[in-house]
Amino acid sequence: MTSTPKQLQQDQTMAKQDKHSHPRVASGRRGLPKSSSGTGLTIVIKLGTSSICDEITHFPLLSTLSLIVETILKLKAQGHRVVLVTSGAIGVGLRRLNLASKPKDLAQVQAIAAVGQGRLMSLYDDLFSQFNQPIAQILLTKNDLADRTQYLNACNTIDALLEMGVVPIVNENDTISVSEIRFGDNDTLSAITAGMIHADYLFLMTDVDCLYTDNPRTNPDAKPVMTVDDIAALKEKVSVASSGSLLGTGGMVTKLIAAELATAAGVTTVIARGSTPQNIFQIISQPIQHIGSASPKQDSTATMTTTATAVTNALGAATIASLPLHTRFLAKDNPMVDRKWWILHGLHAAGTIYIDQGAYKAITNASQKSSLFAAGIVDCKGTFVAQQSVRVVYRPQDYLKKDEQGQVVEEYDGPEEIELGKGLVNYASHEILRIKGCHSRQIIDRLGYADAECVIHRENLTRTKVTQP
């Protein structure tokens, strides 16, 4: 079928936007990031509230902040590009207003964040100014990144600041962002920031040395996990149930989510202690590959941790003596290109499209890479308009073998729904309900017009790893 003028315009727009979207060039070795410029690494450092403010008194931890500033300046002196993602606005606001604890009322929390954000930036400016280093404040929300043009503008702004030698300091706009305050999205924000600028490393600085098999504060037998290759397998075998500090909104769970997002974009992610940022130099100069990796083939938690013997055999006793504790999540071999990573992680899903077995096989076929057509859609939920993001879901139980009486005769113990990915739709939800199940040439008969021959173009469809039913 000949493409419609709108479809041709859409393809041209995607091609123009993708001039700004380049995939990371693989360095050829897992765990060995390489800057695309060849002159240095691009590093994102995320500093949590527990590394910025005292949990009880809310006074700023000037010794830690000074070490962070000095570390950033030394990294820049070595030719690296550094972005700082910071929390702490609420903690600093509590100190400024002489409040003992964070209130439960959302409006009050956001008001405290508004007071604290200015003080926090003033604190950073004072510290960096001692070394004549300019900084820039960037406040983001998820809505800012939902629009493709604004997303690219944010990427270009951060890149321009780095080229000017400025240290960008990124924070979520707590005053208007509900999700960050409730769910600790600054970990996620740091991962999205790292993906936006094609960073080589993302450092999640926290109040522990690394990820452990259990909470080391309550379990003395907890062992460190040094290198992770499979985050999904790690989640099944390692306890990360502990929450964050009293002031913070995160915890180890949000850091694993951030690691998942960042590694999918080709960013090596590291969990390290915030009070010893100087360890960053050793970590980026001493790459580790598959030592203590979490593998789905390994059943015992002990085998997923890096023992002294395993590391010594691989790197030697001399190297181990100087190796700081940290957890390194290896970047994916084939990271997503920028546009598809943005669709999957930068956009809120406004609805869900349910597809049949034929569409499921076409979409999950790596060699086919099919678009999603109306003929393969069985239902949609939610209210959305064209060019919004939706989830694409398959329900295996609807397609199990049945006898002549309609009774299911095939056993299935898998998930009720399999999410195949997300995509930008060419039709609104009410239009999809009218054209579902029909051939592309019948769309004009159902609607009176045909804006596109497919519901989701393959270039606007981001597929995730799925399990065959």
Please tell me the pTM assigned to this model: 0.77
106-110, 167-171, 314-318 — most confident range: 167-171
305 confidence band (pLDDT: 50, 70, 90): very low
More confident residue, 412 or 8: 412
Residues 225, 311: contact at Cβ < 8 Å?
no
349-463 is classed in which CATH architecture? Roll (2.30)
Distance CA 450, CA 427 (A): 9
The gap between the terminal CA atoms of the chain, to the nearest Å, is 32
pLDDT tops 50 at residue 308: no
Instruction: For 52-67, write each residue's pLDDT tens digit.
Output: 888 888 898 999 999 9
By C-alpha distance, which of 175, 192, 200, 224 is closest to 343?
Answer: 192
Chain-centre distance of CA 359, in angstroms? 28
The mean pLDDT of the chain is 79
pLDDT, position 233: 79
> Could you read off the pLDDT of 115-162 as tens digits, one per residue?
999 999 999 999 999 999 999 999 988 777 777 888 889 999 999 999
Which of 431, 437, 429 has its CA nearest to residue 450? 431
Instruction: Point out which residues pair with 418 in neighbouring strands.
Output: 394
pLDDT range class, residue 319, cuts 50, 70, 90: low
Q: In the predicted model, what is the mean pLDDT of residues 368-397?
A: 91
* 224, 305 contact by CB (below 8 A): yes
- Per-residue confidence at 441, pLDDT binned at 50, 70, 90? very high
pLDDT on residue 428? 94
% of the chain exceeding 70 in pLDDT:
76
Given a contact cutoff of 8 angstroms between Cβ atoms, the answer to whether 364 and 372 are in contact is no
| pLDDT tens digit sequence for 1-33 | 444 444 445 444 444 445 444 443 333 334 445
CATH architecture of 42-241+248-285: 3-Layer(aba) Sandwich (3.40)
Q: Where are the alpha helices (DSSP H) in 164-246?
A: 178-183, 186-196, 231-237
- Determine the average pLDDT of the residues in 264-293: 81
223 neighbors 213 (Cβ within 8 angstroms):
yes
Cα separation, 80 vs 441, in Å, equals 54
> Given this model, what pLDDT does residue 312 score?
41
Query: Which pLDDT band, with edges at 50, 70 and 90, does 254 fall under?
Result: confident
Same topology between domain 42-241+248-285 and domain 349-463: no
pLDDT band (50, 70, 90) for residue 405 = low
User: Could you tell me which residues come within 8 angstroms of residue 288 by beta carbon, excluding any fewer than 6 positions away?
Assistant: 31, 226, 227, 314, 315, 328
Mean pLDDT of 110-118: 92
Domains of the chain: which residue ranges? 42-241+248-285, 349-463
Q: Report the pLDDT value the prediction gives residue 453, as an integer from 0 to 100.
A: 93
pLDDT classification of 299: cutoffs 50, 70, 90: very low
Torsion of CA 213, 215, 219, 221, to 10 degrees: 20
Angstrom distance (rounded) from CA 275 to CA 281: 14
CA distance 2 to 143: 35
Kindly state the average pLDDT of the residues 430-458.
Answer: 93
